[in-house]
Structure 1
Amino acid sequence: MAALRCETLVSMTEHRQLNLAGVVLAGGRSRRMGQDKASMEWEGRPLLTVVTDVLAQRCSPVLVAASNTSQAYAELRDVEDVDWITSEPIGSGPLGGLVAALEAAEAADSPAAFVCATDMPMIAPELIDELLHGLTTSADAVVVHDGGRDHPMAAIYRTRVVPVLVDLLDSGEQRMVAALDAIQTHRVGVSDPAWLTNVDSPEDLHRLRA
């Protein structure tokens, strides 16, 4: 227990100096939604800008990972104060987007990045705060676990895991959950599960608006 307390104290000191990047994975095809999620309207704005504005309160730079053939990139590439990362291999899934974004974060001198999806309209900066509080020095990642499952797109990843994730991609893996199993992952609960709400279908969006 004493060792754990010591590690946590070191981590909290590091947090004050941590240059945390923010990453939105926006390259999905949105088959169930029937349209690109990033450009969907939420409170009069594209959903992507709602999410990136939240990340900008805690993170710099803010990166959006999507291929240059994606609808998100075609429609929203002029969004201000966002850097687009389009180097993910075509067909590499969300894991490919994560690798490309973490490589960009490392190039920007960010040792870690908060990663989320573009379809999280209820996200709040306090989610990032609570994940940072759980990021110990030995952890490669800290991810939200809601008691039933992990949420790999509500997590902080250290950029040092890129070589491990590249090996996963080279083996044909595309799933984010595989990344969590391959690295040292710390799982935490959060105080407001509503932050994790995502929209996969028009019905989901309608219920939230109601």
Structure 2
Amino acid sequence: MILKEHNFSDINGLVLAGGKSIRMGRAKDKIQFHDKQQRYYAADLLKQFCSKVFISCRPDQVGDVDIQSGYEPLTDTFLGMGPLSGILSAYRSDRENKTAWLVVACDLPLMSADTLRFLIKNRKSGQIATAFKSPHDDLPEPLITIWEPAGYAVLLAALAKGITCPRKTLIQTGIDLLTPPDKKALLNVNTPEEAGQAVSLLAKYRAKDLD
């Protein structure tokens, strides 16, 4: 049983798991860095903070989501636009557009409750989103972000101009960015080599916890 730390009734959680994992060579969302597949690990983290949590997926993935264990798929209705497909589909599913979306990519195996707690605690609801500054290039990290209701119209307007990159939209809006409390939590795993690096780091953390 997962206990919520707070009742954030205006925030839903979304795990982005609809990618094709071409560089990884196998489905990233099904890799097991912890005690369960990464998509479910991320969803369980979000359940501590969000009113509802969904796993964003392509139409052909829906039947593969373990609904018997309480995981809810949210089918992409915008297609072929990478992460933007999942974000816009989530917005579209909320007809009243009153809900913010805490979006987390499935390929962040070092993501932690502490990092999510920091993000929510420092939420800037007056902006279209609350996002971290990437430790690699100081640009917005759009795939661990709280997207506010106002972000829907902004992303749609950007799409009308041919912009399908959520990061580029965040850059153009000039939002204030947060410095992540743990830079490693934003480690994005896209290749077998990066997956190996994540496994090594997790092993070190677990060994340290046992000391």
Mapped contact 1:134–1:186 kept (Cα < 8 A): no
Mapped contact 1:112–1:156 kept (Cα < 8 A): yes
Q: Paired residue for 1:123, among 90, 103, 111?
A: 111
Evaluate the alpha carbon distance shift between residue 17 and residue 116 of structure 1 in structure 2; reply closer, same or farther with a 3 A threshold. closer
The equivalent residue for 1:114 is 102
CA drift of 1:158 comes to: 0.4
**Matched residues in 2 for 1:151 and 1:53: separation?**
21
Corresponding position: 1:153 with 2:143: yes
**Matched residues in 2 for 1:169 and 1:93: separation?**
12
CA drift of 1:209 comes to: 1.9
Q: Unpaired runs of 5+ in structure 1?
A: 1-14
| Identity over aligned pairs, percent | 23
Mapped contact 2:131–2:142 kept (Cα < 8 A): yes
**Matched residues in 2 for 1:156 and 1:85: separation?**
17
**Matched residues in 2 for 1:56 and 1:16: separation?**
10
The equivalent residue for 2:38 is 47
Mapped contact 1:141–1:184 kept (Cα < 8 A): no
Question: What SS does the aligned partner of 1:116 have?
Answer: strand
Corresponding position: 1:208 with 2:195: no
Moved more, 158-167 or 107-116: 107-116
Corresponding position: 1:63 with 2:43: no
Corresponding position: 1:134 with 2:125: no
Query: Partner amino acid for 1:179?
Result: T
The equivalent residue for 1:194 is 184
Moved more, 122-131 or 176-185: 176-185
Corresponding position: 1:98 with 2:98: no
Mapped contact 2:107–2:188 kept (Cα < 8 A): yes
CA drift of 1:154 comes to: 1.3
Mapped contact 2:109–2:198 kept (Cα < 8 A): no
Higher relative contact order (CA 8 A, sep 6+): 1
CA drift of 1:184 comes to: 5.8
**Matched residues in 2 for 1:146 and 1:177: separation?**
11
CA deviation vs aligned residue, 1:106-132 (integer Å, no higher than 9, x gap):
348753121110011111122222122
Q: TM-score, normalised by structure 2?
A: 0.80
**Matched residues in 1 for 2:79 and 2:102: separation?**
23
Evaluate the alpha carbon distance shift between residue 193 and residue 187 of structure 1 in structure 2; reply closer, same or farther with a 3 A threshold. same
Question: What SS does the aligned partner of 1:198 have?
Answer: coil
Large movers: runs of 4+ above 6 Å? none
- Corresponding residue pairs, total: 193
The equivalent residue for 1:76 is 65
Query: Partner amino acid for 2:54?
Result: L
Corresponding position: 1:23 with 2:14: yes
CA drift of 1:198 comes to: 2.0
**Matched residues in 1 for 2:188 and 2:67: separation?**
24
CA drift of 1:47 comes to: 1.0
The equivalent residue for 2:78 is 89
CA drift of 1:57 comes to: 0.7
**Matched residues in 2 for 1:110 and 1:60: separation?**
13
**Matched residues in 1 for 2:172 and 2:198: separation?**
35
Evaluate the alpha carbon distance shift between residue 108 and residue 50 of structure 1 in structure 2; reply closer, same or farther with a 3 A threshold. farther
CA RMSD in angstroms, aligned pairs only: 2.4
Q: TM-score, normalised by structure 1?
A: 0.81
